[in-house]
Amino acid sequence: MKNHRHTTGLARRLATPLAAVLVAGSITAQTASFTRIGTGCGSAPPPLLNSRDVPRIGASFTITYTGPNSQTPVSMDIPVLLTGTQQVSVTIPQFSSIQPANCILYTIPIFTDVMPWTGTRYQDTVTYQIPNDRNLLGANLYQQFVGVYFNCRSTPCLMEMLRTTNGGALVIGL
């Protein structure tokens, strides 16, 4: 009985999304890559997710955001980075009169990073240090920024629009 409880506890810990990434990454060693998926929406030009490099074990990897990014007395445009383990194609519904049509989510996030305010704009780059762990080789991740627009002409501010970037498919490699 005691071993069964230990095994059940271990199984619960391994059921986390990060564990799924680690297990998936242990299958094969691969070349690191970053591939754009789809297009952004909501402004001209549309918001863009890009990469300065490819995700290699033991190295840093930087994602960038180009798009609406500001704060005024009457509005906020906040970039939020989504990271998931599977690629999808989900259209955001028209939830307000100013929500752009054809905005697509390219991943369902297992975690999000709301970009912090830097004093003049929201942060628009994120750098990750990828551990030098061979178990990560071949792990697949998907990333996308969503620009969340808030109208602050009244209190509280109201979310009125989600503008999406293209997605990014990442393979952690050498």
If 0-12 CB within 10 Å is exposed, 13-18 middle and 19+ buried, where does residue 153 land? Answer: exposed
Domain span including residue 14: 2-171
pLDDT tens digits for range 73-99: 999 999 999 999 999 999 999 999 999
Q: Phi-psi bin for 133: left (phi > 0), alpha (psi -120 to 50), beta?
A: beta
pLDDT tens digits for range 110-156: 999 999 999 999 999 999 999 999 999 999 999 999 999 999 998 89
Domain count, the chain: 1
pLDDT score of 1 more than 80: no
d(CA 3, CA 35) in angstroms, rounded, equals: 44
Confidence of residue 13 (pLDDT cuts 50, 70, 90): very low
Mean pLDDT over the full length of the chain: 87
Q: What is the pTM of this model?
A: 0.81
Confidence of residue 28 (pLDDT cuts 50, 70, 90): low
